[in-house]
Amino acid sequence: MSDAPDLTCPLPCSDYPRVVLAHGGGGRVMHRLIRELFVAAFDSPWLAAGHDGAVIDPGGGALALTTDAFTVRPLFFPGGDIGSLAVHGTVNDLAMCGARPRYLTASFVLEEGLPLDDLRRVVASMAGAARRSGVAVVAGDTKVVERGKGDGVYIAVTGVGQVESRAPIAPERVRPGDVVLVSGPVGDHGVAVMTAREGIGIETDLVSDSAPVADAVLALIRAGVDVRCLRDPTRGGLATVLCEIASAAGIGVRVAEEAIPVRPAVADACELLGLDPCYVACEGRFVAFVPEADGERALAILRATPGGEGARRIGRATSGPPGTVVLEGALGGERVLDMLSGEQLPRIC
């Protein structure tokens, strides 16, 4: 029996008679719903792994497969829109499997009354993002729902990629002593979407970080870096993916607050609104666990890749307590980063 303290939230996490927003929020309630309903029903080892993508080998080389749905509001926000976000979110899930994204399918659920000019903007943006990401959209579907039933447009995307990593990229490969890298400043996307949606009077030129990350990931792999685990900190942000990895790997994680890159505009907005930047979503960043011996070389590779100039080493894996993530404060002291039950910011992806 473990002597580790029980640091989980004592409030009930599921047991809801109806779906609530927290079921899609990236936190503890969503994870329990996935585990107890979907994973249990489909009895799939790929689903049980808890990754946003799966690596399959039908013969002739391993493939990565992922699927995602996008419901962001507003449809257009500083630095992006639902179209480019749908591409970036999908290809980034493939990259987290160590794969080069190749093909996408896209399904659109359109609301009656959506201006066709808005739809044209979304589709043009999506096409441009696909070209820049090196993927082809090869199939799709369109449905229309009654006015008031669809919030403009929802997009569901499935992606396929070719796996380039020879070793599995999974939490089970993380070892105490491994270093934790983040590919750039965190929280840009969540704050950009929130300020656009809520009309908050914050003067800032901050834009979403929505972007493909496969080039940076593949640069690490092709350079021979032993990439042990990757995650993109979308819903629930940096803290949530660290909690996921620590729990799945049975290790602890310690990160230094002063090492986590946060833009001043993000820090100011979060302070004003009572949010923690560690839980605010990104859409163009990733977290990597690599051996100590590869840490400096991996960091140099990331910083030499477009979009990775702000990469930082933020912490390390420890022997425990298993599943516990500890933030070492900039002014001394420390606190546990737990997985939220719900979410700070709904409808940001």
Q: Is pLDDT at 227 greater than 60 in this prediction?
A: yes
Top CATH class, 55-163: alpha beta
Burial of 70-108, coded b for 16+ CB within 10 Å and e otherwise, reads bbbeebebbbbbbbbbbbbbbbbbbbbbbbbbbbbbbbb
Neighbouring CB atoms inside 10 A of 218's CB total: 18
Question: Is residue 181 pLDDT above 60, yes or no?
Answer: yes
Cβ atoms within 10 A of the Cβ of 245, count? 25
Cβ neighbour number for residue 69 with a 10 Å cutoff: 15
* Three-state DSSP class for residue 67: strand
Place of tokens 């790997």: 249
Is domain 171-337 in CATH 3.40.50.720, yes or no? no
- Of 13, 28, 25, 68, nearest to 346 by C-alpha is 25
* Domain regions of the chain by residue span: 55-163, 171-337
Residue 246 tokens, joined: 């620590």
Tell me what pLDDT residue 343 has.
66
Is the pLDDT reported for residue 93 higher than 50? yes
- DSSP letter for 34, please: I
Question: What pTM was computed for the model?
Answer: 0.87
Residue 62 · residue 161 · CB < 8 Å = no
What are residue 254's phi and psi, to 5 degrees?
Answer: -120, 130
- pLDDT score of 201: 62
Of the candidates 328, 190, 166, which has an alpha carbon nearest to the alpha carbon of residue 259?
328
Q: Which of 333, 326, 305, 72 is nearest to 210 (CA)?
A: 72
Report the distance separating Cα 93 and Cα 52, nearest Å: 6
pLDDT at 12 over 50: no
Query: Residue 4 pLDDT more than 60?
Result: no
Over the chain, what is the mean pLDDT? 91
Distance CA 156, CA 87 (A): 10
Question: In Å, how far are 11, 98, 105, 214 from 161, measured between CA atoms?
Answer: 40, 9, 12, 11
As a whole number of angstroms, the longest Cα–Cα distance in the chain is: 61
